[in-house]
Amino acid sequence: MHLVATVLLLRHGRTTANASGALAGRQPVELDDAGRGQAAAVGVRLAGLPLAAVVSSPLLRCRQTLSLALPDTPPQLEDGIVECDYGAWEGQPLSKLAKDPLWPVVQQHPSAVVFPNGEAMAAMATRAVAAIRAWDAKITASHGPEAVWIACSHGDVIKAIAADALGLHLDQFQRIVADPASVTAIRYTATRPFVLRSNDTGGDLAALVPPPAKKRRGRRAPALAESDAAVGGGAGGGQLP
């Protein structure tokens, strides 16, 4: 059995760009009043969780979110989960971008998109997934399989990581939603990842902390492996029986 840590992918709170309908990209936009309230609220949800690590995109909006949610825990910055480089699209109103010939490709075939003077969406997905998996392996090795850690990032980045965990082609990642200040929880295993929460904006996050491994005595039926899915749905909380 190969046990691993659990990552909570936190999207930053709402920004001034989100509120105005612009594509922020890598601009140093800040949280607006609603976003600051969202960050404080997610801090209440995270309170008491034994977080093994707090990792963040280096962009200001992610750092602001964590400074409000977890003020006593300075994040470790990770370039691999920074926002996609939208190039010439950065800072433009979404209503204007929706008229661009590239827009329907972004919607229907994102794996083929390379933003003008920017990044390919496939390259964004590859580096983000690699960064999260590398951190997860590192945290598991140093803190054990019951560890829970948090990574604060951006909407498209989180959607790409979740699509990978769900076994979806990048062209299907637009089916996933990651609202501001939402949590998407993933547990990787040797065989497959499990998506424990998706776009969660109000659930009890304490239920995502794995219980200590139970010692089994005598000759008993073998337990489900960590990579096995519970047929019938299991008992809830993302835990196997």
Report all structural domains of the chain as residue ranges with CATH numbers, in order of start. Answer: 6-208 (3.40.50.1240)
The whole-angstrom separation of Cα 50 and Cα 149 is 8
Give the per-residue pLDDT at 215.
54
Q: For residue 183, which of 148, 143, 133 has the smallest C-alpha distance?
A: 148
Q: pTM for this one?
A: 0.89
pLDDT in tens, the chain (241 residues): 456 899 999 999 999 999 999 999 999 999 999 999 999 999 999 999 999 999 999 999 999 999 999 999 999 999 999 999 999 999 999 999 999 999 999 999 999 999 999 999 999 999 999 999 999 999 999 999 899 999 999 999 999 999 999 999 999 999 999 999 999 999 999 889 999 999 999 978 988 888 776 554 554 444 555 555 445 544 455 554 3
SS3 content of the chain, % helix, strand, coil (to 5): 40, 15, 45
